[in-house]
Amino acid sequence: MKTSLSRKDRSKPLVSVVIRTKNEEKYLRMVLDAYARQTFKDFEVLIVDDHSVDGTCGIAESRGCRVAEIPEGKFSHPFSCNFGAGKSIGRYIVFTNGHSIPVSNTFLDDGLRNFEDDNVAGVFALPIAHADGTIADKLIYNIAGYTVGAIRYRIGGLAHLLIGPENGILGTTNAMIRKDLWTKYPFDENINGGWGGEDADWAWHFVSMGYRIVHDPKFRVRHSHHLRVRDLFWQFRNWRRMVSSEQIPERQRKNF
């Protein structure tokens, strides 16, 4: 079933881009430049900042972004998403951060196009590493992510052309979701003590209700943690634990 992506309220943007920041002046100008070049223009940028002490907020304000500061001591990944979503005014919300740079000028158009299907709850893509990322970053994102990892989200061959992409797990490094669904089920701030997995929980919640989460390679960003090789194995182990079925509530786990 297809739906219209036009604005219902002409006084509000269709999309809110929620960018979470903490001392992001190294990349933030490049991130905001990438959004300024977007072919889709009907969006706002909301900076959700965790008490940066560099030039992050000044850069954001100079570009006309709204800035909201997270209350002292309240930061966690799910809290920052919920905090930003609560202050957003768009019909769709993009969650990202101050060092995730869209790879194309059609990033927002490409993400939105998936919502022509009413059964889509969210869209994401596995990231690729920054050009100045470490060897480990490029191993985990460019090689593992876009070879082994991306295959997980594809049915393959003719079946893929007929059926479409498989449900993904979401990832708020770069994710676009429907705000009306977020109001019904905000990110769970208790999963893994707030340090990850809440995006997979959100995705699985709506998949269990019959919605789809789309992995769309056109919705990629460049993103790096500047990992060392030994960090690479810790990161894989931690991700697997955070999105494992044991971390997801039973009401959703039974559907997978």
pLDDT digits (tens, 9 = 90+) for 112-145: 999 999 999 999 988 877 677 666 666 666 665 5
Distance of CA 190 to the CA centre of its chain: 19
Domains of the chain listed by start with CATH number: 15-253 (3.90.550.10)
The amino acid occupying position 148 is V
Q: Tell me how far CA of residue 238 lies from CA of 181, 235, 252, in angstroms.
A: 28, 5, 21
Lookup: tokens for 19? 């960018």
pLDDT digits (tens, 9 = 90+) for 65-77: 999 999 999 999 9
Lookup: tokens for 59? 């850069």
H helical segments located in the chain = 25-36, 56-62, 77-87, 107-113, 135-138, 150-151, 157-163, 179-184, 198-207, 229-242, 250-253
pLDDT digits (tens, 9 = 90+) for 213-235: 998 989 989 876 655 656 555 55
State mean pLDDT over 98-123. 96
Distance CA 29, CA 7 (A): 28
Query: Minimal CA–CA distance to 155: which of 78, 85, 228, 214?
Result: 214
- Of 200 and 109, the one with more pLDDT: 109
248 has a pLDDT exceeding 90? no
185 has a pLDDT exceeding 90? yes
